[in-house]
Structure 1
Amino acid sequence: MLIIYNPVAGQRKFHKLMPVAEQVLGDAGLEVTLIPTTEEAKSATKIAKQGALDGFEMIVAAGGDGTVNDVVNGLMQVEVPPIFGVLPVGTTNDFARALGMAKDPLEALHIIAGRETIKVDVGKADDQFFINNAAGGKITEITYAVKESMKNKIGRLAYLLSGISMLHKLGPKQVKIIHDTGVFEGEILLLFGALTNSVGGMEKLCPPAVLNDGQMDLLILKKVSPAKLLKLLAAIKAGTHLASEDVVYVRTKKVYIECEMSLNISYDGVYGGETPYTLEVLPEKLAILADVTRIEHRLQK
Structure 2
Amino acid sequence: MKKAMVIINPTSGGEKALDYKEKLENKAKEYFEHVETKITEKALDATHFAEEASREQYDAVVVFGGDGTVNEVISGIAERDYIPKLGIIPGGTGNLITKLLEINQDIDGAIDELDFNLTNKIDIGKANDNYFGYIFSIGSLPEAIHNVEIEDKTKFGILAYAVNTMKSVMTDQVFNIKVETENGNYVGEASHVLVLLTNYFADKKIFEENKDGYANILILKDASLFSKLSVIPDLLKGDVVGNDNIEYIRARNIKISSDSELESDVDGDKSDNLPVEIKVLAQRVEVFSKPKE
Report if TM-score (shorter chain) is over 0.5: yes
Alignment-mate amino acid for residue 64 of structure 2: A
Mapped pair 1:83 → 2:82: no
**How many angstroms apart in 1 are the aligned matches of 2:172 and 2:285?**
36
Measured in 1, the distance between the counterparts of 2:204 and 2:64 equals 21
The partner residue of 2:109 within 107, 110, 124 is 107
- The list of structure 1 runs, each at least 4 consecutive aligned residues, that deviate by more than 3 angstroms after superposition, is 27-31, 164-170
Alignment of 1:3 with 2:2, yes or no, is: no
Query: Which position in structure 2 is the counterpart of 1:259?
Result: 258
In structure 2, the partner of 1:299 is: none
In the alignment, is the contact (CA less than 8 A) between 1:65 and 1:269 conserved in 2? yes
C-alpha separation in 2, matches of 1:109 and 1:30: 18
Letter aligned with residue 286 of structure 1 = V
Question: Cα 1:287–1:18, aligned 2, differ >3 Å: closer, same or farther?
Answer: same
The count of aligned residue pairs is 290
> Matched residue of 2:200: which SS?
coil
Q: CA deviation at 1:30?
A: 5.2
Q: Percent identity?
A: 26
The answer as to 2:28 corresponding to 1:25 is: yes
Following superposition, the deviation at residue 28 of structure 1 comes to 4.1
Instruction: For residue 43 of structure 1, report the CA deviation from its aligned partner.
Output: 1.4
Shift of 1:208: 2.2
Aligned to 1:64: 66
Match of 1:289 in 2: 288
Residues 54 and 80 of structure 2 are in contact (CA less than 8 Å); yes or no, is this contact kept in structure 1? Answer: yes
Is 1:35 matched with 2:38? yes
Tell me the TM-score normalized by structure 2.
0.93
Whether the 8 Å CA contact 2:66–2:91 is kept in 1: the answer is yes
* Cα distance in 2 between the residues matched to 1:224 and 1:166: 11
* Per-residue CA distance 1:238-283 (angstroms, 9 max, x = gap): 2122101111112111111111102211111111111111111111
**Matched AA of 2:66:** G
- CA distance, structure 1, for counterparts of residue 199 and residue 107 of structure 2: 21
> What is the identity, as a one-letter code, of the residue corresponding to 2:219?
I
Contact kept, 8 Å, 1:62 with 1:88, in 2: the verdict is: yes
Match of 1:122 among 108, 124, 128: 124
- Alignment-derived partner of residue 203 in structure 1: 204
For residue 254 of structure 1, what is the amino acid of its counterpart? N
Q: 185, 189, 210: which is aligned to 1:183?
A: 185
* Cα offset, 1:284, TM superposition: 1.1
Using the size of structure 1 for normalisation, the TM-score is: 0.90
Structure 1 segments unaligned to the other structure (5+ residues): 297-301
Instruction: Give CA deviations for 1:92-115 in whole Å, capped at 9, x if unaligned.
Output: 101001111111222222343343
* Structure 1 position 221 matched with structure 2 position 223: no
Q: Over aligned residue pairs, what C-alpha RMSD do you find?
A: 1.7
